Amino acid sequence: MNPGTVRIDLPPPRPYRRPRRRVSLWVWITLITVSLAGGAWLGWRMGQAREVTRATEKKDQPSEAPATPIKEEKKGVDSKESDERKETPIQPAAPTPDVAPMIAAAREAVAAGNWLEALRLFKDVHEVDPTNADALASLPLIERRLAEVRGTVRVDTVPAGATVRLGSAPEQKSPAIFTSVPFGDYELSITMDGFDPIIREVEVKGESPVALAGIILKPSSGQIEVVSEPKGAEFKVVRTRESKPEELVKVGQTPAKIDKLDPGDYEVFMSISGFPEQAQKVRVERNRNSSVSAVFARGTLNLTSDPSGAEVLIASDEGKEANFRRVGNTPLSIPNLTAGKHRIELRYGDWSPIHRTVDVVAGATQDLEFEWTRSLVSFESDPPGAEVYLENRRLGRGMQTTPFQWELPEGNYTLHARHSLLGDVTQTLEIGGETGSTSSENKTGSDSQSNRVEFRFDYGSVALESDPPGAAVVSDGRPLGRTPLILSVVPPGEHRYELSKEGFRSATIGGMVESGAKLRFSAALTYDPTPVTSRNFVNGLGRPMVWIPDLKGWAGAHEVTQAEYERLGGNNPSYFKAPDHPVDSVTWFDAVRFCEALSSHEKALGTLPAGYRYRLPSDEEWDHLVAGQKLDGAISSLFQRQLSTAPVGTLPPNDLGLYDIRGNVLEWVSDWYSQTIVRRIQRDGATPNPEWVGTDRKVLRGGAWNRSGKYDLEIGTRMAAAPASKDRYDIGFRVVLMRD
* Residue where one domain finishes, among candidates 216, 231, 248: 216
Q: What dihedral angle (degrees, nearest 10) is formed by the CA atoms of 518, 519, 520, 523?
A: -160
Specify the pTM: 0.37
Distance CA 510, CA 494 (A): 8
* Residue where one domain finishes, among candidates 112, 128, 149: 149
Instruction: State how many domains the chain has.
Output: 7
- Residue 724, domain member (yes or no): yes
- pLDDT, one tens digit per residue, over 617-671 is 999 999 999 988 888 889 999 988 999 999 999 999 999 999 999 999 999 999 9
Q: Edge-to-edge strands of the sheet including 289-295?
A: 256-261, 222-229, 289-295
Distance CA 557, CA 555 (A): 6
Q: If we measure between CA atoms, which residue out of 166, 167, 162 comes closest to residue 195?
A: 162
Residues paired with residue 493 on neighbouring β-strands, in sequence order: 513
Residue 345: count of CB within 10 angstroms of its CB: 18
Whether residue 518 sits in one domain with residue 638: no
- pLDDT, one tens digit per residue, over 531-580 is 777 889 999 898 899 999 999 999 999 999 999 999 998 899 999 999 99
> Residues with Cβ < 8 Å from 318, sequence gap 6 or more?
341, 343, 357
DSSP summary character for residue 423: E
Question: How far is Cα of residue 332 from the mean position of the Cα atoms in its chain?
Answer: 31
Whether residue 277 sits in one domain with residue 161: no
Whether residue 334 sits in one domain with residue 472: no
Q: If we measure between CA atoms, which residue out of 346, 257, 255, 244 comes closest to residue 305?
A: 346
- Residue 551, domain member (yes or no): yes
Residue 194 burial class via C-beta count within 10 angstroms: exposed 0-12, middle 13-18, buried 19 and up: middle
Residue 666: count of CB within 10 angstroms of its CB: 26
Give the Cα-Cα-Cα angle 285, 290, 294 (nearest 5 degrees). Answer: 145
Cβ distance 207 to 113 under 8 Å? yes
Listed as ranges, residues in the chain with pLDDT below 50 are: 1-21, 49, 52-53, 55-95, 319-320, 434-449
Whether residue 668 sits in one domain with residue 592: yes
Whether residue 346 sits in one domain with residue 313: yes
Whether residue 620 sits in one domain with residue 581: yes
Cβ distance 667 to 640 under 8 Å? no
- Residue 439, domain member (yes or no): yes
DSSP one-letter string for 581-647? SBP-S--HHHHHHHHHHHHHHHHHHT-SPTTEEEEPPPHHHHHHHHTT--GGGSBSSSSS--SS---
Whether residue 284 sits in one domain with residue 135: no
- Residue 465, domain member (yes or no): yes
Distance CA 269, CA 275 (A): 12
Residue 384: phi and psi, rounded to 5, are: -70, 175
Reduce the DSSP state of residue 107 to 3 states and report it. helix
E strands of 67-221, at which residues? Answer: 151-158, 163-166, 172-173, 176-181, 184-191, 198-204, 210-216
Reduce the DSSP state of residue 43 to 3 states and report it. helix
CATH number of 201's domain: 2.60.40.1120
Whether residue 731 sits in one domain with residue 667: yes
How many Cα atoms occupy the beta-carbon half-sphere of 392 within 13 Å? 0
Whether residue 642 sits in one domain with residue 596: yes
- Residue 257, domain member (yes or no): yes
Cβ distance 487 to 464 under 8 Å? yes
- Residue 482, domain member (yes or no): yes
State the amino acid at position 286 in one-letter form. Answer: R
Whether residue 389 sits in one domain with residue 351: no
Whether residue 687 sits in one domain with residue 571: yes
Is the omega angle on the peptide bond into residue 331 within 30 degrees of 0, that is, cis?
Answer: yes
* Residue where one domain finishes, among candidates 524, 546, 576: 524
DSSP summary character for residue 681: H
Distance CA 299, CA 432 (A): 37
pLDDT value at position 287? 75
CATH number of 506's domain: 2.60.40.10
- Residue 68, domain member (yes or no): no
Reduce the DSSP state of residue 345 to 3 states and report it. strand
CATH number of 730's domain: 3.90.1580.10
What are 36-40's contacts with CB under 8 Å, separation 24+? 36/103, 36/107, 36/110, 36/134, 36/137, 36/138, 38/133, 38/137, 39/132, 39/133, 39/134, 39/136, 39/137, 39/138, 40/133, 40/134
DSSP summary character for residue 219: B
Whether residue 686 sits in one domain with residue 564: yes
- Residue 61, domain member (yes or no): no
Report the first-to-last Cα separation within the chain, whole angstroms: 104
Give the Cα-Cα-Cα angle 22, 28, 31 (nearest 5 degrees). Answer: 130
Q: Are strands 736-739 and 553-556 parallel, antiparallel or unpaired?
A: antiparallel
Structural domain boundaries, residue 433:
374-456
